[in-house]
Amino acid sequence: MAKNETRAQEVAVAEAVSRTETFFENNGKKVVIALVVLVLIVAAGYAYKKLVIDRNAERAAELIVEAQYNFEGATPDYSLALNGDDNVAGFLNVIEQYGSTPAGNLAKHYAGICYLRLGDKENAAKYLADYKEVAGIPAAIVNAQNLGLRGDIAADNGDYAEAVKLYKKAVAASDNEFTAPLYLYKEGLALIALGNKDEAVKCLERISTEYPSAVEAREAEKLLGATE
């Protein structure tokens, strides 16, 4: 492959958180007391959940909406979405105050994207890695995007082996016709950059076979032709 083609592909890669009855007879009173204490603990835990945890989760959800408004607007303000100001919360505010809530977890993902858009790859990688994957079909898309972005950072840093691992996980996280072909394509590019032509061809052929209507299918065909 020509040197300039290899360089172009490397550029494309870059762009591109689980007794017995006897015992009871001998220790009945202690057991009863223990059970009462346990009930009280459970009741207290329930009250704590309702009064603190649920309230925190609700408040975190309210704040993240403010940050998302600036993140997703017609003219996104990534700095404001990240840091907030005197009037609106930023993703970092949500993380600092309610980082253990679902919204706080999601804010870590968004904060990573903001840092990436602002050119701070080090903090982008840190916050994206702090995000814990969430179960469920809607969350799978976010999980895949998170892994894919981490793969992009690795590729941009020239760590193509790490990028391949992350892109592969991204495909598995949400195997659908929208995200899977994108990350398969990026995986293929990273494999080419590593000089692993055979594995790259497998990725590209999988796009053509399993996701023929995807935009990446056409690009995969072109790249397959260039690798022959």
Quick: pLDDT tens for 13-70: 444 423 334 444 454 444 444 444 444 444 444 444 444 456 888 888 888 989 999 9
Q: Where are the domains of the chain?
A: 19-132, 137-228
Question: CB of 164 within 8 A of CB of 191?
Answer: yes
Write the CATH number of the domain with boundaries 137-228.
1.25.40.10
What CA–CA distances, in Å, run from 172 to 105, 192, 194?
21, 20, 21
Residue linked to tokens 């840092």 = 115
CA 213 to CA 197: how far, in whole Å? 24
Q: Per-residue pLDDT for 104 more than 80?
A: yes
Q: How far is CA 110 from CA 61, 101, 135, 145, in A?
A: 13, 14, 18, 11
**80-96: average pLDDT:** 95
User: Residue 3 and residue 76: Cα distance in Å, rounded?
Assistant: 37
Amino acid at 73: G
Average pLDDT over residues 132-152: 91
What percentage of the chain has pLDDT greater than the value 70? 75
DSSP string of 100-160, one letter each residue? TSHHHHHHHHHHHHHHHHTT-HHHHHHHHHHPPP--SHHHHHHHHHHHHHHHHHHHHTT-H
Across the chain, mean pLDDT equals 81
Tell me the mean pLDDT in the region 73-88: 93
221 in helix, strand or coil?
helix
Structure-model confidence comparison of residues 116 and 61, the more confident one? 116
Give the mean model confidence (pLDDT) for residues 129-148.
Answer: 91
Please give the average per-residue pLDDT across 163-178, as a whole number. Answer: 94
Confidence (pLDDT) at 7: 52
Residue 31: what pLDDT?
41
pTM (predicted TM-score): 0.76
Q: Give the mean pLDDT of 200-205.
A: 93
pLDDT band at 5 (very low <50, low <70, confident <90, very high): low
* % of the chain residues with pLDDT over 90: 56
Identify the band that residue 228 occupies on the pLDDT scale cut at 50, 70 and 90.
Answer: low
Q: How many CA atoms lie within 13 A of 11 on its CB side?
A: 6
